[in-house]
Amino acid sequence: MSGAPGIQSICRSIDHVMLRTENTEPLFSLLAETLCLPVTWPLQHSEFASFAWVHVGNTHLEIWAAKNNADLPAGCRLPLIHGLALEPDELVFSIAELERQGMACKQPRPFQTVNADGRSVTNFTNVVVLDLSSPACCNFFCDWGTEASIVPWATGIRTRERHEVEQRRFAEVGGGPLGVVRLARVGMTCPDVERTTGHWRTIAQIAANEPLKIDGVAFDVWPGDRHQIDSLSLEVRSLPEARAFLEQRGLLGRETPQDLTLSERATGGLVFHLVEAVAATN
């Protein structure tokens, strides 16, 4: 959990990372079939989008292909890492706390459907954090309803309980042939690094002298023209073993002594770094 013990969290974790694509199948096939990452939301086609989720140990990657990309700015190329869905402790508290500290959010947007009993239920409520978003980057709170009818998991389960179940299942498969352990870092650009890191620290409830992390996921923030997420870094158990697997299948991208990347030809241009997991010390 982000924030100090005993203090209510603005953000507990990164619930999922949204990857926007033109077509879900190639990226889903790479992540779920080739890399054998557990599927937590099977591939689904709806009237507004095709989407699926895979698990990476401490969060999900959502592969999303909208039927209409008019919300993106002109010239925006897909695929892209569109944003982080943040898990609030209590959504009302999170919004109020950000506003108290001078940060702007959009109005809550619930997505409701009728369940099998004929009752209207709220599946989730999204709240975009405007100070950390741009037309090509949407960072938002995602508050799942316990009676959601569209989800592949059981009703009545809270998000934290669901995450614990998913993490146990992930541990059982060992992170697939790459030996994925977790999402370790998010790399992003923004117009004002000091202001943006300050906003992320507000959400994470950490002091200016502490490393910028949310639930153990580190943030690297660099100057750029707009808010944009450029890369994701996944920890793997063994970098040499991951390298051998990727090289054998023609999926090895750039490499340095510290990390590897998945072939951007295979990912469509998305940047996934692989770094070796650091052994826990007592």
Quick one: pLDDT at residue 4? 53
Query: In the CATH hierarchy, which top-level class contains the domain 180-276?
Result: alpha beta
Using the 8-state DSSP alphabet, how is residue 157 labeled?
Answer: -
pLDDT at position 183 over 70: yes
Quick one: pLDDT at residue 1? 44
Quick one: pLDDT at residue 2? 54
Quick one: pLDDT at residue 28? 98
Q: pLDDT: is 81 or 155 the higher one?
A: 81
Distances (CA, A) of 77 to 60, 145, 157, 266: 22, 33, 37, 16
Task: Report percent pLDDT > 70 for the chain.
Answer: 96
pLDDT in tens, 185-222: 999 999 999 999 999 999 999 999 999 999 999 999 99
Long-range contacts of 118-126 (CB under 8 A, 24+ apart): 121/145, 121/147, 121/148, 121/149, 122/147, 122/148, 123/148, 123/149, 123/150, 123/151, 124/148, 125/91, 126/85
Quick one: pLDDT at residue 7? 73
User: 278: pLDDT confidence band, cut at 50, 70 and 90?
Assistant: confident
Quick one: pLDDT at residue 5? 55
Contacts of 189 (CB under 8 A, 6+ apart): 221, 222, 223, 224, 225, 226, 227, 228, 230
Distance CA 245, CA 29 (A): 16
Secondary structure of the chain: what % helix, strand, coil (to 5)? 25, 35, 40
User: 17: pLDDT confidence band, cut at 50, 70 and 90?
Assistant: very high
pLDDT in tens, 233-250: 999 999 999 999 999 999
Average pLDDT over residues 5-19: 89
Quick one: pLDDT at residue 173? 87
Quick one: pLDDT at residue 281? 41
Average pLDDT over residues 52-70: 96
pLDDT at position 282 over 50: no
What's this model's pTM, rounded to 2 decimal places? Answer: 0.94
- Report the run of H or E that residue 56 belongs to, with start and end: none
CATH level 2 (architecture), domain 13-173: Roll (3.10)
Amino acid of residue 169: R
Quick one: pLDDT at residue 6? 58
Average pLDDT over the chain, rounded to whole?
Answer: 94
pLDDT at position 67 over 90: yes
Q: Where, residue-wise, is CATH 3.10.180.10 in the chain?
A: 13-173, 180-276
